[in-house]
C-alpha cells in the first residue's frame, strides 16, 4: 500500500474543496426556476407530430410562448397536460 503525505496547507485546501463540493451537492435547486422546452423537444418528448402539437395549441390543450417563429412550452405545463388526461386503472383494488 502506498502512502501519500500532504502538508497542512495541502490538506486544508483539499478539505475546503471537498466541503465546497458537498455544499453544491446538498444545495436545493431554485424552485422558482422554470424549465422551457422548444417545439422540437416537446414533439420528441411527447412522441407526437408537429401537426398534433399545433392542434393542441390551437385547441388550448397546452399553453405556450412564441418568440418570433419559435414556440416554447413550460415543462410544468406539459406535466399538467398529462395529469389532466390521466385515467386510473379500471381494475379493482
Chain-wide mean pLDDT for the chain? 91
The Cα 79–Cα 93 span in angstroms is 26
Angle 75-84/39-46 helices, nearest 10 degrees?
Answer: 30
Residue range 52-80: mean pLDDT, rounded? 96
Domain range list for the chain: 36-84
Percent of the chain with pLDDT over 90: 74
The answer to whether 38 and 70 are in contact (CB under 8 A) is yes
Q: What is the pLDDT of residues 13-58, one digit of tens each?
A: 999 999 999 988 888 766 677 899 999 999 999 999 999 999 999 9
Flag whether the pTM goes above 0.85. no
Amino acid at each position: 500500500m502506498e502512502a501519500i503525505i500532504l502538508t497542512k496547507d495541502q490538506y486544508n485546501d483539499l478539505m475546503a474543496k471537498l466541503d465546497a463540493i458537498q455544499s453544491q451537492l446538498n444545495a436545493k435547486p431554485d424552485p422558482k426556476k422554470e424549465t422551457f422546452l422548444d417545439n422540437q423537444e416537446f414533439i420528441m418528448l411527447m412522441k407526437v407530430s408537429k401537426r398534433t402539437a399545433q392542434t393542441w395549441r390551437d385547441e388550448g390543450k397546452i399553453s405556450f410562448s412564441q418568440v418570433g417563429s419559435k414556440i416554447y412550452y413550460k415543462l410544468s405545463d406539459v406535466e399538467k397536460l398529462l395529469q389532466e388526461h390521466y385515467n386510473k386503472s379500471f381494475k379493482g383494488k
